[in-house]
Amino acid sequence: MRERKAPRSGQKKGPMTQEISDDASAGKAEHAGRMEPELQDHIGRQLRAVYDEILEEPVPERFRKLLADLQDKQSGGRS
C-alpha cells in the first residue's frame, strides 16, 4: 500500500483539494456561472446542429413495431 503524504500547512485534507488565495476565489465567484455571449452562442449553435441531426434520423423498426403493438392494445386489438 502507498503511504499518504501529510498535507502542507494551510491545505485541507483530501486528494483533490488545493489552496486558493482570497483574491483568486473572489474573482472566480464574481464570474461564476457566467459565460461570454459569443461562446454561449457558439455552444448553442453546435447543440442545435447535433439535435437537428438526431431529429432527422429514422425511427428504428423495432420501436415502430412496439408503438404499433401498444396502439393495438389501447384500441382493444381492433385495427
The 10s digit of each residue's pLDDT in 39-67 is 999 999 999 999 999 999 999 999 999 99
Determine, yes or no, domain membership for 43. Answer: yes
Structural domain contains residue 16: no
User: Is 49 inside a domain boundary?
Assistant: yes
pLDDT single digits (tens) 14-40? 445 455 455 555 555 566 678 899 999
| Residue 4 belongs to some domain of the structure | no
pTM above 0.85, yes or no: no
Residue 8 lies in a domain: no
- Angle, alpha carbons 27-38-46 (nearest 5°): 120
pLDDT of 33 reads 77
- Answer whether residue 74 is part of any domain: yes
Task: Return the C-alpha cell found at 34.
Answer: 457566467
pLDDT band at 77 (very low <50, low <70, confident <90, very high): low
**Helix ranges, the chain (H):** 22-31, 37-56, 61-74
26, part of any domain? no
Tally of domains within the chain: 1
Per the structure, the complete domain to which residue 52 belongs is given by 36-79
